[in-house]
Structure 1
């Protein structure tokens, strides 16, 4: 398939710039792959579609306050720095994106205030730089200072400054392992009350960790999608999760990946007999149609941007015609789109 096949008119009026008041009050479109039926529910109704010993897989990554604002030495030009990942804790070097990129060159020094400065030591891409941070303190104190100064890394298309509420709402309630620069947004809809309902019903809730970079959200710039390269992201799957998931596979129970990140994590570590293996490393798995999924037989995901890798994975899971029809229905029914938007459950 071609990248242009995944294009549609983006509903700017339906772009969710703010989270709704209650997490589980989001709308939930139910998509049945077998009979092509589509239902309209609330996310708080999710438990109705699962039974005892079914398994739901959650990505427990935690969003890092990755957006810093500094000034160039001498010119005082304001520069936005997006911390993607720490490269070397000893040298305090980071892989970053800068904006405006045209003003940031190798050798430039940036001042973030409160004793935190940085020097650009290399270029990586048109917007990418290697930044060496300088701070008079331990590594732990440096990270603490970054968290104090950093802002919630809301997606650019939200087009507003982060507010106090975003620090909590642009984070799942089960977030534990810090390392993402973007939220696993399908998980934002879960409330403590809903998780308790699922537990009481005897549904297994297991966790994986996949630290999201920006690679999943960057546009696909080649027409032949098989030539697109995903950025590598850290991924961890423990033995307990594997044991529970594999038991559900053997019992032919429902296994649901919450979000494209959870799906990418589990599909990155599949054994020859189609079971889930423990995994500790990096994955650049890119899932696009056609693709045979090995672990999950259901999936929760939000409504994504045109031509995105997230939409491509969703189509691979549910089929092109069904998902494109669902998106047109979502636009007609005024579902909210993107990170703070509504969700779909694909069965």
Structure 2
């Protein structure tokens, strides 16, 4: 297996810079035995009564900060709590200009938020200790920070004030992510109601998405890629609902790769799901045997990325390459603000 096996060409004009409105008007490619062009609002028709849809309810924090150290302008993007959870004052961050920062420096960010540089790491990464923690820090970020949009969203006009709403799911509850669970961005209250009427059960789990989700695989062999860890939780009620649905013949529909990764991390070899609280660093490559997820609703992903490798593992590498070529020819929009696909497992495609 080579990383080059998961490469494909994608001209820049296919990368969505803004979402469609309404959210559920985005296009949906149904990838099964055939390829079918639909829209996201058609999803209830593609599911069955008794299926259970699993949503990630993490909430994106405004993790992009601007400030200065003396006369030097500084930009920092928080990407992971340094102490294993988001309750503390210490965060790992990508900083620019990282080379000009030193341990002991104090950065004054917009909105009256201050942080000390505790440690310098590789690649412009630093550990920051803020002058507050917990809810107080999260409240300050809401005032001082901007949404941490992916690096491939590049607008001449810069960030859009609407990103605060656009880059957040309508069911976001638990603050802690520094990247959105982008499959969930397509859902509206109208679509959620339609799923309910269809008889599709809905549960939420939490996986705090980190900036590592955007990191390219640089190793020639993807198995040599160090996978990032993300904190997650599955509650008792969600686990029980999923287990009962599976026992009754319902399918588990992961809304996004983040929900899938958390479910597959927690599931036993028999597919039974317990309650879970901990970190997920599972790296799913072709050859992986899925234990609990039957369908995957997801966006279109970056070439050579861990997420494209995951969807290839789920639906088949050649099948996914065919689907992506079809999507390009049909004018689908790619990545976080783009369109979506519904993937059936390789053995049924």
TM-score of the superposition, structure 2-length normalised?
A: 0.94
What is the DSSP-based 3-state SS (H/G/I as helix, E as strand, rest coil) of the residue aligned with 1:52?
A: coil
What is the DSSP-based 3-state SS (H/G/I as helix, E as strand, rest coil) of the residue aligned with 1:215?
A: helix
Residue in 1 that maps onto 2:326: 329
- Distance in 2 of aligned mates of 1:291 and 1:139: 38
TM-score of the superposition, structure 1-length normalised?
A: 0.94
1:309 counterpart (287, 301, 306): 306
1:155 counterpart (150, 154, 160): 150
- Distance in 2 of aligned mates of 1:64 and 1:308: 24
Structure 2's unaligned 5+ residue stretches are 345-349
What is the DSSP-based 3-state SS (H/G/I as helix, E as strand, rest coil) of the residue aligned with 1:257?
A: strand
- Distance in 2 of aligned mates of 1:217 and 1:211: 14
Query: Map of 1:252-331 to 2, 5 A cutoff?
Result: 252-331=249-328
What is the DSSP-based 3-state SS (H/G/I as helix, E as strand, rest coil) of the residue aligned with 1:216?
A: helix
1:78 to 2:73 alignment: yes
Shift in Å at residue 248 of structure 1? 2.0
Shift in Å at residue 296 of structure 1? 1.0
Residue in 2 that maps onto 1:21: 21
- Aligned Cα root-mean-square deviation (Å): 1.6
- Distance in 2 of aligned mates of 1:239 and 1:130: 34
Shift in Å at residue 141 of structure 1? 3.2
- Distance in 2 of aligned mates of 1:270 and 1:219: 27
- Deviation digits for residues 165-215 of structure 1, max 9, x if unmatched? 111110111111111000000111111101001101211011110000011
Structure 1's unaligned 5+ residue stretches are none
What is the DSSP-based 3-state SS (H/G/I as helix, E as strand, rest coil) of the residue aligned with 1:256?
A: strand
- Distance in 2 of aligned mates of 1:141 and 1:307: 39
Kept after mapping to 2: 8 A contact 1:71/1:79: yes
1:4 to 2:4 alignment: yes
- Deviation digits for residues 131-172 of structure 1, max 9, x if unmatched? 12236xx75433322220100111111013321211111011
2:61 counterpart (64, 72, 92): 64
Kept after mapping to 2: 8 A contact 1:216/1:230: no
Kept after mapping to 2: 8 A contact 1:302/1:339: yes
- Distance in 2 of aligned mates of 1:311 and 1:272: 24
- Distance in 2 of aligned mates of 1:203 and 1:210: 22
Kept after mapping to 2: 8 A contact 1:11/1:331: no
Query: How many residues are paired up?
Result: 340
What is the DSSP-based 3-state SS (H/G/I as helix, E as strand, rest coil) of the residue aligned with 1:158?
A: coil
- Distance in 1 of aligned mates of 2:88 and 2:252: 43
Residue in 2 that maps onto 1:31: 31
Shift in Å at residue 83 of structure 1? 1.3
Query: Map of 1:35-54 to 2, 5 A cutoff?
Result: 35=33, 37-54=34-51
- Distance in 2 of aligned mates of 1:332 and 1:190: 25
